[in-house]
Amino acid sequence: MCAKTAYQNHGCMKFFWTAVLKTTIPTALIYIGRSEEFFVYLKNHNVLFSTDSNTDNIKLTCFLIGLLWAGLVIPIQYERLKAKYDNQNNQFIKLLGKVKDVHIEAICKHLGVNTKLKTRVFVKKRNYHNLLKKKKNREVFFGLKHVDGISDEINSDKLKFRVAPNPQGIIGLSYRDRKRIIDSNVRPDNYNLSHFQKSQTEDVKFCCVAPVYDEESNIVAFVSLDSNERIEASNDDAASWNKLINEYCYTLDKHINKH
């Protein structure tokens, strides 16, 4: 592991200094092409022996090369690096999606159902109205966010739930109690929902919400698994069910925290 880490660090440093060199060279050439002091210094130190016309030609050549490098070569190199990064990122998202599918399949198999559970991610939303409120009266909201490779398609990106005070939805209860909550028979009237929230969740029959924590044990997101069909999650299988959910959330939480 140490050798691998050292190799990776060496590769990062090599990439860094290569990038610095590639951006410094055109800057230096443009400076030389526009500088009188540089050539005066070389002449005074007997480094350069040339006529004024030759000096002008050298300056023009350096300036044009630097300008061409900065205006053409660097953008091309940037686009190549960006394309390489996008390709690697797309491959990672596909891999993450496959890992997600494996976990969902295992959970559904454990529950003995054929329906596919859908994954949603809720993250904390900024609420600028809180600036004018006392701390105890400040409202905290968590809203839907699409995370590539994790989130299934959503009908609305405006759906959010208040988690404090007066919690709304299963998200709110999970935040209040700081624990995973499973509802095998979701009834919107039980969760203090607004008319808009009910319209967006009225087809949900099964829902499992699990909090995602940061290093300081603050809740930074929620992973929600839901289905349009009722799913009976037996209390006798609670331990194995919790283990599967824990493994699933552990797989996702690092990627969620980056967003």
Closest CA to 35 of 12, 75, 62: 62
Condensed to tens digits (0 to 9), the pLDDT of residues 228-256 reads 888 776 666 666 777 777 778 777 766 67
pLDDT of 10 strictly over 60: no
Specify the pLDDT at position 59.
Answer: 82
pLDDT at 70: 77
Q: What integer pLDDT is reported at residue 84 of this predicted model? A: 82
Q: What is the CATH number of domain 113-257?
A: 3.30.450.340
Top-confidence residue, 3 or 236? 236
Going by C-alpha positions, the residue among 158, 154, 191 that lies closest to residue 172 is 191
**Among the ranges given (5-9, 12-16, 49-53, 151-155), the one the predictor scored with the smallest mean pLDDT:** 5-9
Q: What is the pLDDT of residues 125-149, one digit of tens each?
A: 887 776 666 766 788 999 998 888 8
- Whether the per-residue pLDDT at 5 is higher than 70: the answer is no
More confident residue, 233 or 59: 59
Residue pLDDT, tens place only, 171-226: 999 999 999 888 888 988 889 999 999 999 888 998 989 898 888 889 999 999 89
Output the CA torsion sign for 236, 210, 189, 133.
positive
* Mean residue pLDDT across the chain: 80
pLDDT score for 161? 94
Judge contact between 108 and 118, C-beta under 8 A: no
Return d(Cα 49, Cα 54) in angstroms, integer: 9
Upper half-sphere CA count for residue 168 (Cβ side, 13 Å): 17
Helices assigned H by DSSP within the chain? 2-34, 37-44, 52-68, 74-111, 169-177, 195-201, 238-257
CA atoms of 71 and 65, how far apart (whole Å): 10
User: What is the domain partition of the chain in residue ranges?
Assistant: 2-95, 113-257
**Alpha carbon distance 42, 39 (integer Å):** 5
pLDDT value of residue 4: 40
Amino acid at 62: C
Of 182, 230, 222, nearest to 204 by C-alpha is 230
Under 8 Å between Cβ of 117 and 226: yes
CA distance 144 to 222: 9
CB 110 within 8 A of CB 236: no
CB atoms within 10 A of CB 196: 12
